Structure 1
Amino acid sequence: MIFKVYYQESASEVPVREMTKTLYVEGESKREVIRKISERNHNIQFVEEISGNYLNYEKQNEDFKVLEL
């Protein structure tokens, strides 16, 4: 499964929508994805599974790249 993770660069950073970044991670569950990226010291805002038409739409974005962790 592919998950879209919304995050701030630093865990100490105050969440501001305009500064929110995204990354895509493959994993079995939200918990596994959070565990995989926890060592990066990001302030994770939201993790959602993407599939079907939503995944196809995201793949059209030139910045779409699934992290290999």
Structure 2
Amino acid sequence: MVFKVYYQELMKEVPVREKTKSLYVEAESVREVRTKLADRPYNIEFVTPVQGAFLEYEQKNEDFKVLEIG
């Protein structure tokens, strides 16, 4: 399943909508997504599954790329 992760680039940064970034991760659960990103200095705000029509819409975006994290 593909998950969309909303995050701030710095762990100590206060979440501000204008600075929020997103990325996509392939995983089985939200917990697995957070585990895969644990070594990165991200302040993860929200993780949500992306599927169906929402996934199709996101795939049309030129910046759509699923991270391959082992």
TM-score when normalising by structure 1: 0.99
**If each structure's helix is expressed as a fraction of its own residues, which one has the higher value?**
1
Letter in 2 for 1:65: K
Structure-to-structure mapping, 1:1-69, within 5 angstroms: 1-69=1-69
CA shift for structure 1 position 30 = 0.2
- Alpha-carbon separation, structure 2, partners of 1:18 and 1:68: 26
* CA RMSD between the two structures: 0.3
Q: Flag structure 1 segments of 5+ consecutive residues without an equivalent.
A: none
Q: CA deviation at 1:41?
A: 1.3
Tell me the secondary structure at the aligned position of residue 41 of structure 1. coil
Runs of 4+ residues over 3 Å off in structure 1: none
**1:15 Cα deviation (Å)?**
0.5
TM-score normalized by structure 2? 0.97
Shift of 1:38: 1.2
Structure-2 separation of matches of 1:6 and 1:64: 14
- Identity, % of aligned pairs? 62
